[in-house]
């Protein structure tokens, strides 16, 4: 069964109540389904920002992309998630990750475990939330085998990392989805697949700024970056066709963009609905 599209909006401007609420209202008006914020030391705390956004909107969901699970004790995180779920009348979605920036662990005076231990703790937190708050959707984002196994077995939404470019010989996105399918077994059809769009044309040229995409794949040329799943180019119709193809070929139905791409991508949303 083909899932309906959902579209998320990564909020950047969080320095005042008016900036957050104006952006949230604009996202809702443009047709976005979810407003998302990250969880990093040095950035505003997610819960106050999301509560501020939710107060200004009626249908827009709010969530994290993503909580660093290793920063939290499960029961304390669950208490705050439950409050957000209740105060937003069911519009809160929990996004979780294993954490990866050692400097942030150091600043928080927390040990920085190995990657495997961080994923094990993510599984512990996820299991606690799913057991005590089954009504709150959980997304886990990542790419490694161990993390995707946890995701496939416990989460409801999978944040996929598109990886390298699609070539005649290699399709990294298809490989990761195949891995998830095998790990999830019978529950695969229940999962919602998410993909972060990192490059969108915004000036009418049809060519995107690839700086965000390059941040994660610095070794690739511009031509190679344009062949990665998260990079869009061409006209609004070209981009809409690309999004449809990603859903038809891979089953990805939930797409997120950054705030600087939101106005241009809203035209794509309008064409898809």
pLDDT at 161: 84
pLDDT at 1: 75
pLDDT at 13: 86
Q: Going from the N-terminus, what domains does the chain have, and what CATH number goes with each?
A: 6-272 (3.20.20.30)
pLDDT at 163: 83
pLDDT at 210: 97
**Run means of pLDDT, 10 residues per run, the chain, 273 residues:** 94 93 98 97 95 98 97 98 98 97 97 97 98 98 94 96 87 96 97 97 96 94 96 98 97 97 98 95
pLDDT at 181: 97
Q: At what angle do helices 115-132 and 145-154 cross, to 10 degrees?
A: 10
Q: How far apart are CA 177 and CA 183, in angstroms?
A: 10
* DSSP element (H, E) containing 95: strand 92-97
Tokens of 49: 């920002």
What b-and-e string marks burial along 10-30, b requiring 16 or more CB atoms within 10 Å of the CB?
bbeebeeeeebbebbebbbeb
> Using an 8 Å Cβ cutoff, are 84 and 51 in contact?
yes
Residue 257: phi and psi, rounded to 5, are -130, 165
């Amino acid at each position: 069964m083909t899932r309906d599209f959902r579209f998320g909006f990564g909020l950047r401007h969080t320095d005042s109540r008016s900036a957050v609420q104006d952006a949230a209202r604009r996202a809702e008006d443009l047709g976005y389904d979810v407003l998302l914020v990250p969880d990093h030391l040095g950035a505003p705390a997610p819960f106050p920002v999301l509560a501020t956004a939710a107060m200004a909107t009626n249908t827009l969901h709010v969530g994290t992309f993503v909580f660093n699970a290793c920063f939290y004790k499960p029961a304390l995180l669950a208490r705050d998630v439950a409050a957000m779920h209740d105060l937003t009348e069911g519009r809160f979605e929990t996004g979780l990750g294993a954490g990866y920036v050692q400097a942030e662990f150091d600043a928080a005076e927390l040990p920085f475990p190995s990657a495997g231990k961080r994923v094990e703790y993510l599984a512990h937190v996820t299991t606690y939330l799913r057991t005590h708050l089954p009504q709150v959707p959980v997304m886990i984002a990542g790419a490694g085998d161990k993390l995707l196994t946890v995701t496939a077995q416990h989460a409801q939404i999978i944040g996929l990392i598109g990886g390298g470019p699609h070539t005649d010989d290699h399709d990294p996105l298809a490989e990761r989805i195949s891995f998830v399918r095998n790990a999830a077994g019978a529950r695969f059809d229940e999962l919602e697949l998410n993909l972060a769009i990192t490059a969108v044309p915004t000036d009418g040229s049809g060519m995107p700024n690839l700086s965000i995409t390059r941040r994660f794949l610095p070794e690739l040329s511009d031509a190679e970056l344009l062949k990665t799943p998260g990079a869009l180019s061409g006209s609004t119709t070209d981009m809409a066709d690309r999004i449809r193809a990603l859903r038809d070929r891979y089953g990805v139905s939930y797409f997120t963009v950054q705030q600087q791409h939101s106005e241009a991508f809203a035209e794509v949303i309008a064409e898809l609905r």
